[in-house]
Amino acid sequence: MITSPRIDLHTHSTASDGTLTPAELVRAAADAGLDVVAITDHDTTAGWAPAVAALPTGLSLVRGAELSCCWHGVEPALSLHLLAYLFDPESPELVAELARVRIARETRAERMVALLRADGVEVSWPQVLAGAAGGTVGRPHIAAALIRAGLVADTAEAFAPRWLGERYRLPKDDIDVFRAVELVRAAGGVPVFAHPRASRRGPIVPDELIADLAAAGLAGLEADHEDQSPAEQAHVRGLAAELGLLVTGSSDFHGTHKTVRLGAFTTAPQAYERILAEAGEVTPVATG
Ligand code: AMP
Ligand code: ZN
Ligand code: FE
Ligand code: FE
């Protein structure tokens, strides 16, 4: 019997806020029965080399990143996530933007820790930074410190409004989303809007912006994602069909920082092939 390949195009490792190292991530992907996995850490490509080095036989790796972006069409600006696949990791402008965003993330996390401490919450910046272990710093690393301090039971509770979801949340200094689409395309990559309709995560962008992004070079939309309801997933599919965009589905796996499992949502082979074709890669570069 011929079975369809299982493709998960959005996962995180310890290069950002996941809990498996890149090597553990690709082994876990093979163990989960995936044929293709993308490593898409926040604002970094640091996980690519160790993931390639540990790639199990038969598993294809899509090298990617999830770029922290903002849209200034409303006030205050909305933050959104852009998945970027198979771009040149040495593209100077993109490298500079990613480095800038990573530094801004550190400053922001340090300020969030200071706000917590000002309210008597026993978390320490050196410990949060050490917890990130050199990876891109994010709120899940502060969540881990709150868990260690016994103040919340798990990451989900740490993201409640009274903690990192609202009260102690500070904005990030993100990349303008139109500039990000342009930089990813200029670097030969393929940009896909991550969880564009995930209203449970916060305010969502209007469909008109997605149409404008499609005109500017956006390749696809992530429809199947745990943070989008079935109705939201259907809406994203409809919009993609209208705009001629490809559709992906993925787990957004973060190890134990989230409950979702690898391969919980997957991408159709046709969409994967279109990503490869748009990146100018007929076959994936890295196959174990
Ligand atoms: P940051 O990038 O620092 O703003 O942190 C956002 C990250 O936290 C994203 O990668 C999300 O996957 C993760 N996140 C957001 N909301 C939650 C939640 N409710 N539970 C667990 N992780 C979350
Ligand atoms: Zn994350
Ligand atoms: Fe995201
Ligand atoms: Fe993600």
Q: Does a structural domain hold residue 2?
A: no
Q: In what helix (H) or strand (E) does residue 71 lie, and over which residues does it extend?
A: strand 60-71
Give the residue, by CA position, lying nearest to ligand 1 atom 5: 139
Closest CA to 43 of 92, 86, 84: 84
Judge whether 257 and 143 are in contact, CB under 8 Å.
yes
Q: Is residue 214 part of a domain?
A: yes
Domain membership of residue 268 (yes or no) is yes
pLDDT at 281: 84
pLDDT at 106: 98
Q: How far is the CA of 139 from the centre of ligand 1 (A)?
A: 6
Which protein residues are within 6 Å of ligand 1, measured from CB? 17, 42, 138-140, 155-156, 159, 254, 257-258
Confirm whether 37 is domain-assigned: yes
Specify if 1 maps to a domain.
no
- What's the structural domain count of the chain? 1
pLDDT averaged over 10-residue windows placed end to end, the chain, 288 residues: 88 98 98 98 98 98 98 95 98 98 98 98 97 98 97 96 97 96 98 98 96 98 98 98 98 96 98 97 63
Domain extent, residue 128, equals 7-287
CATH number of the domain that 30 lies in? 3.20.20.140
Task: Flag whether 93 is in a domain.
Answer: yes
For position 3, what pLDDT does the model report? 80
* Domain contains 91: yes
Residue 216 domain-assigned (yes or no): yes
